Amino acid sequence: MTSIVVAMVVIVAIAAAVVVYVAYPHRGERLPVVPLPKSLDAPAVVAPEAPREDRAEALYVRALDLARKRAFGEAGEALDAFLRAYPDDPRAVRVMFWRGEVLFAQRAYVRALEAFRGALAREPTGDKAPSALLRIALCHLRLGAPEEARAALAQLRTEFPDSEAARLADRVTQEGT
């Protein structure tokens, strides 16, 4: 019994020596002295944050890059984050359109339809409007609503007759409506 107690005391002493050695690795060396601020209430120095435009651009580029890489879950989150943070940004309509593309690729046609309609409502004559109308028609087809699809395609042909989307609408009409 005594040998057990002696062994435990030796183990505790060795453990204490290891703790002291690890906790104080300088072993007698002089530690560098860091001067304290004159006032402990002084504000901490923080690196300046990137300008808002730079953050918006970085998020926009990242979101589109994720969408192009077909990382749809992450792309959707990044696109949503952009729209929450920068709803009035000039790129917001493009982000809404791309959000629709991501949802369409995920076969979430109802939500994709909402995204495309939102982009079209914000800029009814913008550069993404013809493509949004085509995608709206495709969403309606996937949802089993051919009449709504035909109406979107007719609007596309009427409002943007010379667009690439209008030329694709003819193929969609032949194939599915």
Q: What does 38-53 look like in DSSP terms, one character per residue?
A: S-TTSPPP-PPPPPHH
- CATH class of the 52-175 domain in this structure: mainly alpha
55-98 per-position pLDDT tens digit: 889 999 999 999 999 999 999 999 999 999 999 999 999 999 99
So where are the chain's domains? 52-175
pLDDT at 152 over 80: yes
- pLDDT for 11: 74
In degrees and rounded to multiples of 5, residue 107 shows phi and psi of 65, 25
Write out the H or E segment, with its range, that includes residue 81. helix 72-85
